[in-house]
Amino acid sequence: MPDTSADSFDVIVVGAGPGGSSTAAYLGRLGRKVLLLDKASFPRDKTCGDALSGKSMRVIRELGLVAEVEKLPHGSITGVTFSSPNSTQVSIPFQSSDPNREGGTGYCIRRYNTDNLFFTAAKKTPNVTTMEKFQVNEVVMENGMAVGVKGIALTDPARAERIYRAKVVVGSDGVNSAVARAVLGEKAQLDPSHSCDAVRAYYSGVKGMNGQIEIHFVKSVMPGYFWIFPLDNGTANVGLGLLSGDLAKKMKKDKTNLISMMNNIIQNEPMFKERFADSKPLGPITGWRLPFGSKRRQLAGDGWVLVGDAASLVDPFSGEGVGNATNSGRIAAQFIDEAIERNDVSRLSLARYEVAVWDEFGKELSTSYKMQQLGRHSWLLNLVVGKAATKPKVRELISASLSNEEAKKKFENPLTYLWLLLT
Ligand SMILES: Cc1cc2nc3c(=O)[nH]c(=O)nc-3n(C[C@H](O)[C@H](O)[C@H](O)COP(=O)(O)OP(=O)(O)OC[C@H]3O[C@@H](n4cnc5c(N)ncnc54)[C@H](O)[C@@H]3O)c2cc1C
């Protein structure tokens, strides 16, 4: 017989990554009684590029974590280096006036550390109860409303099922979200045109790192990109990502996979061979999937809300997901709190969260999708990077677009490319 002993909360948050931990921390601060569950125990690793976008800094600042972030082992990032398929390279500094970056500098921090910071902050927040090694298998539904979760404590040898009840269930359990599958059914399946497969590994001894994150549009892996992100102590996060649909075609045609493609770049590409000649891998190459926000899914329903990767909010151009995960958590907490206050956690009431998310991220995600589509054309990348390498005005435009939405939107305009041709 399943153990049906039920505990009751205002909100159950399933998944304690950056999205779930932020949601729980904000809700706890608002005085809501929260249960934060994760099947892993912290600190735990998460396959990622480890770059912390300027957008993540808003939540880090609001949760009072800037000083702790500074103390974590990190790479200080001052800009982005791009290379085009014809191997032209250009370095673009961040603008020192960017309000999202502390003194114009960004961070690369292993997710092992970043996620533990977010989780610990949530755990310390009044009104938040955390439970690690608890795997949620089902959302408990009553009359079409989500009213709790059912799962197992992975430490319990008997694996007895437990139920916890709440007014609202938050799915922040990542790309393979059990909550999203329970509430959305087939609509939670990833579309290969709007999701990406990526691998990464840690290395020491990579030569020529310049304190910038590096994004390389290497010819052999187009339309994907290869990255080198500097971490602490001369180490680097090195990876490769490709749209899932493109990868499937490449695998079939060239009988290859992401790991062989990445090793091939490191060992054979003239631009990287020498840089990796004395490098040492510090662990295995691991892979994971990124659900892009270019395809919108329903984010709220009767008694439930999705945030972060469970809500499919990753930027389709840069692959950044931590910023949208933490900020969707911030927004979700506000609207869940208000819905509970109104004593109405119906879809109509919680849909205000969904509207607010698209208001805040919608335009940026659609610009990024257009840029991702443009980035499929080698000639265009050659043109943009080539011009940027020689023209300060072009570098300034790209630099502005790294922090400013209006500047980024210019890359949607065909006239920008005419200007580039004539510049
Ligand atoms: C290779 C790669 C590189 C990337 N690079 C970057 C980058 O440089 N910068 C950036 O900002 N983003 C990057 N991303 C995206 C980023 O990793 C994600 O967007 C981010 O982790 C989303 O956070 P989250 O909290 O929504 O989900 P997650 O971080 O995936 O956390 C989900 C949590 O839910 C738990 N969980 C899952 N299922 C259950 C269950 N059934 N029951 C209980 N708990 C469960 C998991 O244990 C996990 O702790 C990258 C992704 C990949 C794959």
Q: Is 172 in the pocket of ligand 1 (CB under 6 A)?
A: yes
- The structure tokens listed for 111 are 């997710």
Q: Is 332 in the pocket of ligand 1 (CB under 6 A)?
A: no
Residue 411 confidence (pLDDT) above 80: no
In this prediction, residue 105 carries a pLDDT of: 77
pLDDT, averaged across the chain: 93
In this prediction, residue 100 carries a pLDDT of: 64
Q: Is 127 in the pocket of ligand 1 (CB under 6 A)?
A: no
Residue 5 confidence (pLDDT) above 70: no
Mutating to test ligand 1, I would choose from 22, 38, 306 the residue with most ligand atoms within 8 A of its C-beta, which is 38
Fold of 6-74+106-190+293-371: FAD/NAD(P)-binding domain (3.50.50)
In this prediction, residue 1 carries a pLDDT of: 41
In this prediction, residue 43 carries a pLDDT of: 98
Question: How many DSSP H helices and E strands does the chain contain?
Answer: 14, 19
Residues of the chain above pLDDT 90, percent: 80
Residue 50 confidence (pLDDT) above 50: yes
Nearest atom of ligand 1 to the alpha carbon of 53: 11
Residue minimizing CA distance to atom 50 of ligand 1: 48
Q: Is 174 in the pocket of ligand 1 (CB under 6 A)?
A: yes
Residues of the chain above pLDDT 70, percent: 96
* Per-domain residue ranges of the chain: 6-74+106-190+293-371
Average pLDDT rounded to a whole number, residues 389-397: 85
Residue 189 neighbours by CB under 8 Å, 6+ apart: none
In this prediction, residue 421 carries a pLDDT of: 72
Q: pTM here? A: 0.94
Q: Is 306 in the pocket of ligand 1 (CB under 6 A)?
A: no
Q: Is 135 in the pocket of ligand 1 (CB under 6 A)?
A: yes
Residue 4 confidence (pLDDT) above 90: no
Nearest atom of ligand 1 to the alpha carbon of 38: 44
In this prediction, residue 2 carries a pLDDT of: 41
> What phi and psi values does residue 57 have, to the nearest 5 degrees?
-65, -30
Mutating to test ligand 1, I would choose from 39, 159, 181, 261 the residue with most ligand atoms within 8 A of its C-beta, which is 39
In this prediction, residue 181 carries a pLDDT of: 98
Nearest atom of ligand 1 to the alpha carbon of 291: 19
Average pLDDT rounded to a whole number, residues 28-50: 98
In this prediction, residue 101 carries a pLDDT of: 61
Residue 149 neighbours by CB under 8 Å, 6+ apart: 12, 14, 37, 136, 138, 139, 140, 163, 164, 169, 179
Distance 414 CA to ligand 1 centre (A): 35
In this prediction, residue 401 carries a pLDDT of: 79
Nearest atom of ligand 1 to the alpha carbon of 51: 8
pLDDT, tens only, 117-167: 999 999 999 999 999 999 999 999 999 999 999 999 999 999 999 999 999
Distance 278 CA to ligand 1 centre (A): 31
Residue minimizing CA distance to atom 16 of ligand 1: 321
Residue 234 neighbours by CB under 8 Å, 6+ apart: 204, 205, 206, 209
Distance 384 CA to ligand 1 centre (A): 32
**Residue 265 in contact with residue 214, Cβ under 8 Å?**
no
Beta bridge partners of 202: 237
